[in-house]
Amino acid sequence: MSTEKFVEPLCYDYKYLFRPDLLKGKVAFITGGGSGICFTIAEIFMRHQCDTVIVSRNLTRLQASSKCLENATGQKCLPVKADVRKPEEIKEAVIKALQEFQRIDILINGAAGNFLCPAAKLSFNAFRTVMDIDTMGTFNASKIVFEKYMTDHGGVIVNITSTQHISGVPMQCHVGAAKSAIEALTKHLAVEWGPNNVRIMCVAPGPVEETEGYRRLAGPASKEDILKIIPIRKIGTRCDIANIILFVVSEAAGLLTGSCIIADGGSWMGMMSAVFNQIPPPKL
Ligand code: NAP
Ligand code: COA
């Protein structure tokens, strides 16, 4: 299969905010790392001297992404095919990662599925599919990485959630249910695995441009419409999210565990601000 259609944008003009060797010697296992936000997380980690393992179902895309990331950063990136819904496949992927690198310091649970669909039209299997990929996938990868490595060595797990469940966004009940379950799971695991020196956090992006999620979810809304509901009037970039996650996995965030950083420019505080934003501000 041709790899040309799998070209992901790189952050060519990346401006370092942290020490370039911040993640030197570390290894990150990133589900969903062949595309979108998680591809850029892999890139920014690698620009900070981390090696990565990128995991998803489409091996052709993973191989193209891995080559692109290695060429751009000079670090190693191992592409591994696995479906996060299948614990046996994730187990195999973790074993391959450990054979290659002997360690997994960071786990990013980014694999997810989404589409707009009203609850009344959603099939039972459609709801279950998103719960399986997002929630079960996060549990499967976390439990396996914990058992095989982090239980003895510690580490950091970052779960990528979202903001749909905060205000009950329409046509998103499947994703809201799945992501809020991940946020609950994060707290439980943070309490249970804290004594093993494992920190577990969520990062919840708002709309992030140049991603599959944005393409699928913006629906009929224009960029101008979306900007109106974001207090800082800025749509997030993949690099914005990757930088936040870089902070979360760094020692600077050593006291953070069990919580969620909402990375959306303040739009979650929303509905009424969206209404009031339509009204011109009074002259001062
Ligand atoms: P994306 O590029 O489509 O990323 C999703 C990734 O998950 C793909 O690489 C896909 O690869 C992988 N995946 C899907 N099902 C899988 C499975 N069963 N097993 C293993 N891998 C699987 O979309 P994105 O927009 O960048 O989203 C990335 C993350 O950010 C998601 O967790 C999403 O919920 C979250 N998020 C995104 C936005 C946004 O605006 N984009 C906003 C809030 C939250 P394969 O098809 O190769 O399996
Ligand atoms: N609207 C309503 N239902 C939908 C749908 C849509 N747009 N897309 C899929 N479904 C339903 C299917 O009809 C099926 O239900 P059914 O058996 O009752 O007909 C169910 O969801 C599973 O679909 P299937 O295509 O078999 O699942 P899959 O495991 O191959 O793919 C998806 C998972 C559906 C989430 C697919 O869109 C995907 O792979 N997404 C990954 C990328 C992504 O979503 N990125 C954005 C992240 S924010």
Say which CATH number the domain at 186 has.
3.40.50.720
Largest CA distance in the chain: 65
Residue pair 251/203 in contact by the 8 Å Cβ criterion: no
pLDDT score for 172: 95
Q: What are phi and psi of 207, to 5 degrees?
A: -60, 135
Q: What one-letter code names the amino acid at 173? A: C
Whether the predicted model's global pTM rises above the 0.85 cut: yes
Write the CB contacts of 168 (distance below 8 Å, at least 6 apart in sequence).
Answer: 176
How far apart are the CA of 77 and the centre of ligand 2, in A? 28
- Taking CA atoms only, the protein residue closest to ligand 1 atom 32 is 110
Q: What are phi and psi of 237, to 5 degrees?
A: -105, 165
Ligand 2 contacts (CB < 6 A) are 112-115, 117, 123, 125-126, 129, 212-213, 216
Residue pair 97/26 in contact by the 8 Å Cβ criterion: no
C-alpha to C-alpha distances, 92 to 55, 61, 87, 95, 97, nearest whole angstrom:
11, 19, 9, 5, 9
Condensed to tens digits (0 to 9), the pLDDT of residues 172-198 reads: 999 999 999 999 999 999 999 999 999
Is 132 inside any structural domain? yes
- Taking CA atoms only, the protein residue closest to ligand 2 atom 16 is 125
Is 249 inside any structural domain? yes
Is 229 inside any structural domain? no
Q: What are phi and psi of 81, to 5 degrees?
A: -80, 125
DSSP 236: B
Is 228 inside any structural domain? no
How far apart are the CA of 129 and the centre of ligand 2, in A? 7
Is 241 inside any structural domain? yes
Ligand 1 contacts (CB < 6 A) are 31-32, 34-38, 56-58, 61, 83-85, 110-114, 133, 137, 160, 162, 205, 207-208, 211-214
Is 48 inside any structural domain? yes
R_g over Cα of the chain: 19
How far apart are the CA of 170 and the centre of ligand 1, in A? 20
d(CA 176, CA 180): 6
Q: What one-letter code names the amino acid at 106? A: I
CA atoms 32, 116, 246, 105: torsion sign: negative
pLDDT score for 229: 87
How far apart are the CA of 199 and the centre of ligand 1, in A? 22
For the chain, strand residue ranges (E) read 27-31, 51-56, 77-81, 106-109, 155-160, 198-205, 260-263
Is 12 inside any structural domain? no
- Please report which ligand is nearest the Cα atom of 164: 1
Residue 1 pLDDT > 80, yes or no?
Answer: no
- Write out the residue range of the structural domain in which residue 177 sits: 19-222+234-268
Residue pair 160/38 in contact by the 8 Å Cβ criterion: yes
pLDDT score for 69: 98
**Which atom in ligand 1 lies closest to the alpha carbon of residue 58?**
47
Both structure tokens of 140: 């499967």
Q: What are phi and psi of 201, to 5 degrees?
A: -130, 160
d(CA 73, CA 129): 35
Say how many domains are in the chain: 1
- Please report which ligand is nearest the Cα atom of 85: 1
Average pLDDT over residues 94-102: 98
Condensed to tens digits (0 to 9), the pLDDT of residues 192-235 reads: 999 999 999 999 999 999 999 999 998 788 999 899 889 999 99
**Percent of the chain surpassing pLDDT 70:** 94
**Which atom in ligand 2 lies closest to the alpha carbon of residue 162?**
48
pLDDT score for 258: 98
Is 14 inside any structural domain? no
C-alpha to C-alpha distances, 114 to 130, 174, 215, 229, nearest whole angstrom:
7, 8, 11, 21
